[in-house]
Every structure is written in C-alpha cells, then in structure tokens.
Amino acid sequence: MGRRVVGHLLTQHRVLCLGTDLSRFPEEIRHHANFKFYQCDLRSFSTANLPKEGILLFLHMAGVVADSKAPPEDSFLVNGKATKELLDWIKKKGNIPFLFLSSVSVYGNQEKPASIETNPEGSSLYARSKREGEEAVLSYTGPKSIFRMASLYGEGTKSFIAKLSRLHRMRIWPRFRSPRKKSFLSVEDASASVVFWVNRVMAKKKLEPIYILAETKHWDLDSLRFLFPPRFLFLVPLEGILGKLLLLVLPQAYHSLGMHLEVVPNWEKLGFFPKKALEDERKSFNLP
C-alpha cells in the first residue's frame, strides 16, 4: 500500500521515505526526482537517521501486521513505541499534521457493528499494539488523524481473503455455529483515502481525529464463497477439536478468521467515498 501512495504523491509533492529496503520500490519511484529514501528501522529507532530538512506532514504507514512472522515484541516496537518516538521528534519541528494507519482490529469481537462511539477493546497482540499507537497519536496536540481500516483486499495484500484462498486450495472451508461478519476495503480505496487526506491537509481543511474506513456491505464466511471456483470442500468448524488442531497446524491461515469485525464507516467526515466493492472484484484477485 505504501508504494501505491508514494507513487500518487510524487506527481505533486516531494516525498521523504523512511524504510529498511529501498529495493522494494519500483525503479520509477527510486529514481524519481521528488523521492528521497532514508534508511530507518523503527524497531531500533534513532533520530540520527531521520531527515534534517523541513516537512509539511507525516504519514505513519509502517506497521507489523497481524499474522506477521516477526517476533511478537516487534508489534509493540513498531506499532506502539516507534509511534511515540516519531511524535516526540515531530513535536520539535512544530505542529505537523500526522496520519496513523490503524485497523478495525482495535475493536476486537463485537456483538454489534462497531462505530466511532464504540470503545476499542481488542485484546489480540496486534490490536493492543495498534491501540498503544493510537493513544500516542490522540495525545498529540498537533493536527492528527487515525485511519481505522477494515480488512484490505486486492493485489499485494495478505489478509483475510488471502487466508481463505489458501484454505480453499487445500479444500478446507471454515465454519462457525453462529454467523460472524467482517468488513472489507480495497487496497486501492485505502491508498486513495490517504492521498485524499494529504490533499485535505494541503487545502487547510478540518481533520477528524478518527476515521473508520470500510465498505458498507458486511460479509460472513459462507457468503464469500462466490470469490472462489466451485469445488468440493471439507467444512471444518473452528470451535471444535478439529478446528483447534488445524489452528496449531495452520496458524497463519487461521488467525483472525473467527473475529467478528463489522464496522460502521464515517466516510462523510473525510469527504471521500470508496469506488470499489468486494462483490465486483473476483477477477482482480486472480484466485485459483
């Protein structure tokens, strides 16, 4: 997602990028006149590696994602501790607008759709690390926003839909005794939302502290089978003994499948609305 956003911004803005691997950017970005890369590992944060030149705004898009193979402590180092340290550094430069990319995972399991008024009570390691980062951002006195984004889908993503694809190839389909719904968002719309936020900042428009970004339609597991070619599948209940055994064997594939993460977006506060919808996107997944 970061590469998409940078690619859009370079046409009008100079972009200073903090990261660990310049080679992950395509050549047209690496050699663009408006692009400059700074080697910076947020797990071992040091201001010595940060830009000395002035900046107009900061996008914190880095993060250790759910299901990452990184050590658990990296989630708190990058999503939490580094966010605080970045904000401390930014405060010395003035009230610079700051955007933090978070996740609807901060809400945890909810009995009803979560909204802007819902308290974030997610207890997973990923949710707690994102909540820690959010708390740092909300305490920042400068202009700031948090994007709580639904599960992303589309090219290059490795979240919920990718897990279902892996299980489908193994002829496994997870089931629950009671329906559980999730909210989704295309990576294209997520990227466009960040660019739109940047344009709001440049136009000196009002920023909300929290935006919930998700498509309005919610999906349960069975309704998502339309994404995949018809084939014989073993229906595996996640609550049972067999489900627990599969969780041990396939932790990366099964993580968060049981979460009920249905949210109510507030796009009207941002002034941007998603252009894509999951039900129209089967071909873009290039699923088997």
Full-model pTM: 0.89
The answer to the question of residue 145 being in a domain is yes
Range of the domain at 200: 2-157+184-216+263-278
Which pLDDT belongs to residue 116?
92
What sign results for the dihedral spanned by CA atoms 124, 126, 130, 133? positive
Contacts 24+ apart (CB under 8 A), 128-131: 128/76, 129/64, 129/75, 129/76, 129/78, 129/79, 129/80, 130/63, 130/79, 130/80, 130/102, 130/103, 130/105, 130/106, 131/106
The answer to the question of residue 258 being in a domain is no
Tally of domains within the chain: 1
Which pLDDT belongs to residue 283?
56
The answer to the question of residue 178 being in a domain is no
The answer to the question of residue 126 being in a domain is yes
The answer to the question of residue 223 being in a domain is no
Do the beta carbons of residue 203 and residue 223 sit within 8 Å? no
CATH number of domain containing 46: 3.40.50.720
Q: What is the DSSP string of 134-148?
A: HHHHHT--SSEEEEE
Instruction: Mark out the alpha helices in 69-124 (DSSP H runs).
Output: 72-75, 82-91
3 state SS of 212? strand
Q: Tens-of-pLDDT digits for all 288 residues of the chain?
A: 889 999 999 999 999 999 889 999 999 999 999 999 998 888 887 777 788 888 999 999 876 665 556 666 777 777 888 899 999 999 988 889 999 999 998 998 777 889 999 999 888 888 888 999 999 999 999 999 999 999 898 887 877 888 788 888 889 888 777 667 889 999 999 999 999 999 999 999 999 999 999 999 988 888 888 888 888 998 877 776 766 776 666 655 555 555 556 788 999 999 999 999 998 876 555 444
The answer to the question of residue 163 being in a domain is no
CA-based angle 67:124:255, to the nearest 5? 35
For the record, the structure tokens of 154 come out as 């589309």
